Amino acid sequence: MTDLDRLELAGNRQLVIVERPGGLAAVPRVQDPDGGWRRAVPGDGVAEAMLDLLTAGSAEYGNFTVISWTQRSATGERPITVDQTNESVIVGDDAIVKWATHLDDGPHPAPRRITALRAAGFAGMPVPLGLVTWCSPRGEQTLVATIDEYLPGAVDGWTWAVELVTAAAQDAVARPPLIAAVAEVGRLVADMHTALAGTASVADAAQARAWRDAAFETLETAVALSTSVSGAMLRERRGEVEALLDGLGDLAGTSVLEGHGDLHVGQVLQTEERFVITDFDGNPVLSAAARMQPIPAAFDVAGMVQSLAHVAIVAHKYTDLDPHALADVSSLVRRTFLDAYRRSAPRYDPAPLRALRLQQILREISYAAQHLPRWMYVPDAALPALLDEGITA
């Protein structure tokens, strides 16, 4: 492990950029009374010190850029209790500081997207308090820390949506709260896109071709990697699958914006009062350059719709549910989301929706095959459902 750079924080604390076999990471460090430095854990005060640095305002410190939107410090650190990719520390009841345990290649889309959403007054996300970026030796800015308002008791959609769908499939009286929740999320996503309308431009033919080619590449990878039923189905129905994906090449002229880029139910947190959208880091499976590109709103919509289909599959795995009731609830959820979204985002073009949902399934086949075999039951069930369902559901 080699130290590449460090951001000095008050009280003998640091945020260090280290190079490890798997890539670069941002690591919090604290100095012990004997003078030695060690990796900090929640309670060591590095997240508190980060928040203190934000109170000094936006500034540059060597290769680090601190963007601050807060003047408030807080004390008392604790870890978050859910599984996550990065490492987040809660400070007081005020802030959540996320260290990037794996640095993406820059440039990084989050600063631009969060800044645009803030500027537009979008309130459907945790209040952003600050961002820290680091400029790599190649001259690319990437994100090393994200500091947001902490929302006590917030849970993501792999919890709230699975619970609501399970309950609604068990008993029709539980449908109204599910419908209300999903409609609210549909409006929230539409509000986010409305807030980003100022970033809109028009896709050219090269961009459309790149989307189509990327989808075909994803298909190639999924076919090569999958040994399960979805792999067999892809091989068997390849013509149909390719015809659907081919439509992405026709998107020249469609409107694009600085969308979320990695939207799914896991990015939608439910608090006591409302829903909020988090994680504007872009899609981790894309290259840095592709992650920065503006997207049709349908990319985000498809991510949400397909993840809602996956919610029903997950619900079925953990609870013995009547398949017909579940199928009803699942299509109701997708329709409700889309109707609510469309009512608030009337300019939305649904043409690529099915192709994009299919692409999402293909990505999950590859992801499950490479990293998470126990997730394969989800795309295995989602692929036949999508290929056989009606055009609009």
Count of residues that interact with ligand ADP, criterion CB under 6 A: 18
Least distance in Å: CB of 133 to ligand ADP?
16
Q: Answer yes or no: is 364 a known binding residue.
A: yes
- 151 contacts ligand ADP (rule: CB under 6 A): yes
Q: Answer yes or no: is 87 a known binding residue.
A: no
- 372 contacts ligand ADP (rule: CB under 6 A): no
CA atoms within 13 A on the CB side of 97: 33
Q: Answer yes or no: is 279 a known binding residue.
A: yes
Select from ligand ADP, Mg ion, none the partner in contact with residue 29, using the beta carbon and a kind-dependent cut-off of 5 to 8 Å: none
Residues near 99 by Cβ (< 8 Å), separated by ≥ 6? 15, 26, 27, 28, 86, 87, 88, 89, 144, 145
Count of residues that interact with Mg ion, criterion CB under 5 A: 1
- 148 contacts ligand ADP (rule: CB under 6 A): yes
Least distance in Å: CB of 159 to ligand ADP?
8
- 71 contacts ligand ADP (rule: CB under 6 A): no
Site for ligand ADP in 373-392 (CB under 6 A): none
> Which of 58, 85, 201, 392 is close enough to bind ligand ADP by CB under 6 A?
85
Buried/exposed 202-224: b ≥16 CB within 10 Å, e otherwise? ebeeebbebbbebbbebbebbbe
| Binding window for Mg ion (CB under 5 A); candidates: 13-21, 92-100, 275-283, 302-310 | 275-283
- 150 contacts ligand ADP (rule: CB under 6 A): yes
Select from Mg ion, ligand ADP, none the partner in contact with residue 333, using the beta carbon and a kind-dependent cut-off of 5 to 8 Å: none
Please give the Cα distance from 286 to 4 (Å, whole number).
25
| Binding window for Mg ion (CB under 5 A); candidates: 46-54, 94-102, 273-281, 284-292 | 273-281
> Which of 15, 24, 154, 378 is close enough to bind ligand ADP by CB under 6 A?
154
- 300 contacts ligand ADP (rule: CB under 6 A): no
Q: Answer yes or no: is 3 a known binding residue.
A: no
Q: Answer yes or no: is 281 a known binding residue.
A: yes
| Binding window for ligand ADP (CB under 6 A); candidates: 70-78, 84-92, 175-183, 235-243 | 84-92
- 166 contacts ligand ADP (rule: CB under 6 A): no
Least distance in Å: CB of 345 to ligand ADP?
24
- 279 contacts Mg ion (rule: CB under 5 A): yes
Site for ligand ADP in 93-132 (CB under 6 A): 96, 98, 126
Q: Answer yes or no: is 98 a known binding residue.
A: yes
Q: Which residue is nearest to Mg ion (CB)?
A: 279
Contact yes or no for 260/192 (Cβ under 8 A): yes
SS (H, E, C) the chain: CEEEEEEEECCCEEEEEEEECCEEEEEEEEECCCCCEEECCCCCCHHHHHHHHHHCCCEEECCEEEEECCCCCCCCEEECCCCCCCEEEEECCCEEEEECCCCCCCCCCHHHHHHHHHHCCCCCCCCEEEEEEEECCCCCEEEEEEEEECCCCCEEHHHHHHHHHHHHHHCHHHHHHHHHHHHHHHHHHHHHHHHCHHHCEECCHHHHHHHHHHHHHHHHHHHHHCCCHHHHHHHHCHHHHHHHHHHHHHCCCCEEECCCCCCCHHHEEECCCCEEECCCCCCCCCCHHHHHCCECHHHHHHHHHHHHHHHHHHHHHHCCCCHHHHHHHHHHHHHHHHHHHHHHCCCCCCCCHHHHHHHHHHHHHHHHHHCCHHHCHHHHHHHHHHHHCCCCC
Select from ligand ADP, Mg ion, none the partner in contact with residue 150, using the beta carbon and a kind-dependent cut-off of 5 to 8 Å: ligand ADP
Site for ligand ADP in 233-292 (CB under 6 A): 269, 278-279
Select from ligand ADP, Mg ion, none the partner in contact with residue 148, using the beta carbon and a kind-dependent cut-off of 5 to 8 Å: ligand ADP
The residues binding ligand ADP (CB under 6 A) are 80, 82, 84-86, 88, 96, 98, 126, 148-151, 154, 156, 269, 278-279
Binding residues for Mg(2+): 267, 279, 281
Residues of each annotated binding site: 98, 156, 262, 267, 279, 281, 364
Interface positions with Mg ion (CB under 5 A):
279
